[in-house]
Every structure is written in structure tokens, then in C-alpha cells.
């Protein structure tokens, strides 16, 4: 398993897995039931999670504020891949089309708070948006919300149940349900899908209390 920030390994209970097993498993975005963020469909979501799942602003900025500046982005992977079926449908991509897939951990106060996966179609990575190919450890959210051409489609949310597989090959297998959200952003009318999953360490009571006070 590739070495990552030591805090990441506290995100999930350790269960050894093989890369082949992960590759053959159903992607978490295909297992999840993504729902539009309407009041009628979110009444059963706990208030704490509803606040974070439906927040319309930049999650990166909100985490930065909540962490008292103790915030960093750790890149897990970035490569050209075939997006999952659910991701292709969200982006209206043909089955054979590749995209730049970037997976990162958003770390606050030394803890892995959010797993983020962005899917950027190749046709989006043209012109002035070629810069998206080389984000390195810079947060994508900061770039999106500072762009005057940015538009955003309605948020979707899901409760992702554990199935003995990790969210990403570099992470440990899930042993509890986690909440996630996603939406399609457009810069100069060019689309990309951003999915953000709140990791177990984010929901610990002391962390939740600190965030509520921020």
C-alpha cells in the first residue's frame, strides 16, 4: 500500500485488501443512492450532517475556518481513468471516454476529515483550464469558488454503506457508514464532478463540537 499521511490510516479500521480486489469491486459512487438536496428528502438526515451536506458555499473554505488554519490537502492519486457509471451519467460522458480523476484527503487539525474525488473530462482541460492538470496539493475548491464563470448544478447527497472495500486504494476498508455529497461544477461552461465524503474522524463528538463553535 502506498505510504500516505499517518493520520489517514485512522480514518478506517484496518482490513488488509488486495489491489486487485479493490479494482474488481463496485465503485462506491455506483453503490450509493444519490439524492437531490430537497427538504422532503433530507428530513431524516441528522441536523449536523444536513448542515454540512447542503452547505452551498466552499467546503474547502469552511474546513479551513473550522480548523483554525490547520488545514492541508494530501494528494492520493491523479491519473486518466474511465469514470464510474454513476460519474459518467452525472457528466453525460460516453462509456469509453476517459477523464482526469484526482483523489485527495482534506486534513484538518491533523485528522483526515474529507475524502474528495474530482472527475474532470478531457474536453474540460483545454484553453485556460489546462492549469487544472497541475493542481498538486492546492485545493480545487479554492480555484472553483474564485472563478467568476463558475456555475454549479444542484447538490446530491448519499449515505454510503460499508461493504468491506475502501473508498480509494490507498485507504483502509470501511467499517461504518459515511455521508457524502457531490455536484457538477462548470467553469466557462466546461463541466467537472466533485464528490466529497466525510470520513469517520470528522464525526467524532469533540470534532463536531469544535466545528459547531467555529
pLDDT tens-digit readout, 106-150: 999 899 999 999 999 999 999 999 999 999 889 999 899 999 999
Kindly indicate the confidence band of residue 10, based on its pLDDT and cuts at 50, 70 and 90.
Answer: very low
CA distance 161 to 96: 28
- CATH superfamily name and code, 6-213: Chorismate lyase-like (3.40.1410.10)
Q: What is the pLDDT of residue 207?
A: 57
Q: What is the pLDDT of residue 204?
A: 55
pLDDT tens-digit readout, 19-57: 444 444 689 999 999 998 776 566 778 888 888 999 999
Q: What's the grid cell of residue 150?
A: 463558475
Confidence check: pLDDT of 12 > 60: no
Q: What is the pLDDT of residue 118?
A: 97
CA distance 133 to 46: 37
Listed in sequence order, the residues at least 6 apart from 131 whose beta carbon sits closer than 8 Å to its beta carbon are: none
pTM as predicted = 0.84
Residue ranges of the domains in the chain?
6-213
Q: Of 27, 1, 5, 195, which is closest to residue 112 (Cα–Cα)? A: 5
Listed in sequence order, the residues at least 6 apart from 213 whose beta carbon sits closer than 8 Å to its beta carbon are: none
Q: What is the pLDDT of residue 15?
A: 34
pLDDT tens-digit readout, 70-106: 999 999 999 999 999 999 999 999 999 999 999 999 9
Q: What is the pLDDT of residue 30?
A: 93
pLDDT tens-digit readout, 155-207: 999 999 988 888 988 888 888 899 999 999 999 999 999 999 999 888 655 45
Are the beta carbons of 119 and 192 closer than 8 angstroms?
yes
Amino acid at each position: 500500500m502506498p505510504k500516505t499521511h499517518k493520520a489517514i490510516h485512522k480514518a478506517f479500521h484496518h482490513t488488509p485488501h488486495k489491489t486487485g480486489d479493490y479494482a474488481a469491486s463496485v465503485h462506491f459512487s455506483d453503490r450509493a443512492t444519490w439524492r437531490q438536496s430537497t427538504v422532503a428528502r433530507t428530513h431524516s438526515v441528522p441536523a449536523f450532517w444536513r448542515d454540512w451536506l447542503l452547505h452551498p458555499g466552499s467546503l474547502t473554505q469552511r474546513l479551513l475556518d473550522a480548523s483554525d488554519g490547520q488545514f492541508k490537502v494530501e494528494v492520493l492519486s491523479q491519473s486518466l481513468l474511465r469514470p464510474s457509471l454513476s460519474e459518467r451519467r452525472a457528466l453525460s460522458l460516453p462509456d469509453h471516454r476517459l477523464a482526469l480523476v484526482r483523489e485527495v484527503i482534506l486534513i484538518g487539525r491533523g485528522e483526515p476529515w474529507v475524502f474528495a474525488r474530482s472527475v474532470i473530462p478531457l474536453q474540460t482541460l483545454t484553453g485556460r483550464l489546462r492549469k487544472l492538470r497541475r493542481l498538486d496539493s492546492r485545493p480545487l475548491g479554492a480555484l472553483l469558488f474564485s472563478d467568476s464563470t463558475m456555475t454549479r448544478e444542484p447538490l446530491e447527497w448519499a449515505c454510503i454503506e460499508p461493504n468491506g472495500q475502501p473508498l480509494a486504494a490507498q485507504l483502509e476498508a470501511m467499517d461504518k457508514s459515511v455521508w457524502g455529497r457531490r455536484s457538477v461544477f462548470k467553469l466557462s461552461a466546461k463541466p467537472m464532478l466533485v464528490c466529497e465524503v466525510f470520513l469517520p474522524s470528522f464525526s467524532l463528538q469533540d470534532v463536531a463540537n469544535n466545528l459547531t463553535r467555529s
